[in-house]
Amino acid sequence: MAPRRLLVLRLRAVLTAAVVVALATAGCGGPTAPSPRQSGPLAATCLPSLTVPATSAQGALVNYPLAAATGGQPPVTVACTPASGQVFPIGTTPVTCTATDAAAASASCAFPLVVAAPPELTRTNFMAFGDSITAGEVTVPVAARGSDHGLPVFRQVVVPTAAYPTALERMLTSRYVAQQPQVVNEGRPGESAGDAEPRLLRALEVDRPDAVLLLMGYNDLSSSARRIRAVATMERMAKDVRGYGARLFLATLTPPVPGRQRAIESSAIVAYNDDIRILAAGEGAVLVDLYEAMLPNAAAWIGVDGLHPTEAGYAFIAERFYAAVRADLERR
């Protein structure tokens, strides 16, 4: 057979085979394109559980992650009930998540969403009683004209927003969201502890506190006799508070910064604070030892006069009272 004729016959055979294969594939209804690959049965996996703290008496706004979906025919969608991004009440809420794929197959899982009840105090009405350091005085230097011996002149300015009772109230309301703690500021600049009992008795009747924060004595340390009188009055005031039925938090005086213009003699403050510690133990009061806590950083926390705290110092005093309140009054 001629070579040319042999080549033509071979080409016809190849074309005929291709047509047969194409017809056979079409006639059997086979796919013309590959199907999306499946990696296994559809499954949904939820968190084991989720616990969040309440941020108000109503509960907490919670955004939680959706269930993870595996397998199935894509695309796969996931929906959860109750939906993420809403306020959940205090307590346990069951959450169910369902994954659905393109073939309408579904798989579900569930987890408990717990909104923990906020902490609570056994007492919420506080009264801070004292002198200028309770009132929130800060020391502001002014021009040196008219000062004796060229020493700088200071003036005291009450800054209510910086006062430790104000800072303490912010801390308490932030933590005890289901309650309404309040801290009344009964600070009076210049008052001595030895003369303060009548005002304390009036304040107890007016403010009706169930807890009293007592910090004073700075104006009583010019002599040993005045200090002894102040301690005796502080003891009577502690008994007044206890007799009224209020919880007493009794604080030591903050440390001075020696060498600054209005700094009280360190030995006088140490002696007075020793008496306050003994008094707190004897009267069953909560001792808030500001002296020991502030001493390492007194140069930064006490102002330029060596006596009154800076705004940072007042914030630290508030933190110490806050820690004492939590330890003593937070419901267990």
Number of domains in the chain: 2
pLDDT in tens, 88-139: 999 999 999 999 999 999 999 999 999 999 999 999 999 999 999 999 999 8
- Cross-strand pairs, 263: none
Select from 295, 323, 321 the least CA-distant residue to 309: 295
Q: Phi and psi dihedrals of 212, rounded to 5?
A: -125, 135
Mark whether 283 and 302 lie in a shared domain: yes
Same domain, 85 and 137: no
Whose structure tokens read 């005086």? 253
pTM beyond 0.85, yes or no: no
Q: Which two tokens stand for residue 209?
A: 């506190």
Q: What CATH number should be reported for the domain holding residue 98? A: 2.60.40.10
Which residue type sits at 28?
A: C
- Return the CATH number at 156: 3.40.50.1110
Whether residues 196 and 305 share a domain: the answer is yes
Please give the backbone phi and psi of residue 286, each rounded to the nearest 5 degrees, phi first: -85, 120
Q: pLDDT at residue 62 above 70? A: yes
Tell whether 4 is covered by a domain.
Answer: no
Residues 214 and 142 reside in one and the same domain: yes
Give residues with Cβ within 8 angstroms of 177, minimum separation 6: 54, 55, 56, 57, 118
First-to-last C-alpha distance (Å) of the chain: 107
- Residues 58, 97, single domain; the answer is yes
Cis peptide bond N-terminal to 256, omega within 30: no
* Residue (of 281, 188, 203, 279) closest to 236 by Cα position: 279
The pLDDT-based confidence of 308 (bands split at 50, 70, 90) is very high
Final residue before a domain boundary, out of 116, 143, 172: 116
Question: 55, 83, 116 — which closes off a domain?
Answer: 116
DSSP state of 265: P
Q: Which domain holds residue 63?
A: 43-116
Q: Does residue 10 lie in a domain region?
A: no
At residue 164 the predicted structure's pLDDT band, cuts being 50, 70 and 90, is very high
